[in-house]
Amino acid sequence: MTSSSALPAQAGRACHNVVNPFHSTHYFAPELPAEMARIGVEDRSAGYFACRSAAMGAVGPGTVTATFYNFNHDLVARHVPHVWSVTTPEAVLAARLRAADATLRRLLGDEAVESPEMAEAAKLALRATEGCTRHARPLYAAHADLPVPDAPHLAYWHAATLLREHRGDGHLLALLDAELDGLEALVSHTASGRGMSYRGVMATRGWEEEDWQAAQERLRTRGLLDAEGELTEAGVQLRKDLEARTDRLDRAPYEHLGAEGVARLTELATGFTTTAMNAGAFPAVLFGK
């Protein structure tokens, strides 16, 4: 294992920022709802809750709310556990993989999907996951129990999923430590200009306008948000501290991969993610202010 001193500051975060979108493409693609509909799941929220939680088995709404963190529990409970009366976790995982395959082939093209660079990215990302840990990371641990797909682009997608959920589980610990509930985390992230837009949050997370306003008021009381809904100096510092704490909790896979490997994975991932974004992988209306 490479020592942490050999890894440039924020190199792990920079790598995550370009690897993570490779995983996320299927959430916004028409292929996922189409595959979910084939197994009887027509509602998009139900499909999202099912496909992201399926690795944990047919869990109930409490587990989904706990591990996803920023969704209104009432929205979760509207679809879980009902979705498990329609289909099974095994069928959902298979549908999700088919959707990822079709989505990546459409966005990147068969040449990129079958390229030596894709195989190299998969090898590097999987090596990084060897540094991940299961304790206190339920979504990562559940996905780590799944088999690695044979096709290089799906192996890379699987590794990106593991790295995403590993960092995400650690981020929730940082949010708890900062005493931010799920909606406060969303409001402050949106105010930073780096999170989902207000419209995106309202369209996907199940919150109402009065919930949003109440969360804003709680943040104002703490001196983190100003009257216009912008982060105060303290709020900006809190978001910086959150990211730094998340980086610290997520450093192990990138230390394991080492500085050279992280730099190469970042380079490869940037190319694939840029191609996907240029192909319209992500709806701009859902992100940023």
pLDDT in tens, 93-102: 999 999 999 9
Residue labelled with tokens 């595959």? 35
Residue 165 has pLDDT above 80, yes or no: yes
Q: What pLDDT does 4 receive?
A: 44
Band the pLDDT of 288: cuts 50, 70, 90: low
Beta carbons of 96 and 127 less than 8 angstroms apart: no
Beta carbons of 23 and 157 less than 8 angstroms apart: yes
Q: In this predicted model, what pLDDT tens digit does every residue of 15-56 receive, in sequence order?
A: 999 999 999 999 999 999 999 999 999 999 999 999 999 999
Beta carbons of 239 and 219 less than 8 angstroms apart: no
In this prediction, residues 169-188 reach a mean pLDDT of 98
Alpha carbon distance 260, 277 (integer Å): 26
Would you give the DSSP letter of residue 147? P
What would the two tokens of residue 231 be?
A: 């982060």
Alpha carbon distance 73, 249 (integer Å): 27
Radius of gyration in angstroms for the set of CA atoms belonging to the chain, rounded to a whole number: 19
Q: In this predicted model, what pLDDT tens digit does every residue of 184-213 receive, in sequence order?
A: 999 999 999 999 999 999 999 999 999 999
In this prediction, residues 121-145 reach a mean pLDDT of 98
178's CB contacts (< 8 A; 6+ apart) are 238, 241, 242
Band the pLDDT of 146: cuts 50, 70, 90: very high
Q: What pLDDT does 6 receive?
A: 81
Q: What pLDDT does 181 receive?
A: 98
Q: What pLDDT does 286 receive?
A: 73
Q: In this predicted model, what pLDDT tens digit does every residue of 73-82 receive, in sequence order?
A: 999 999 999 9
Residue 230 has pLDDT above 80, yes or no: yes
Alpha carbon distance 104, 22 (integer Å): 8
In this prediction, residues 246-254 reach a mean pLDDT of 98
Q: Is the pTM of this model over 0.85?
A: yes
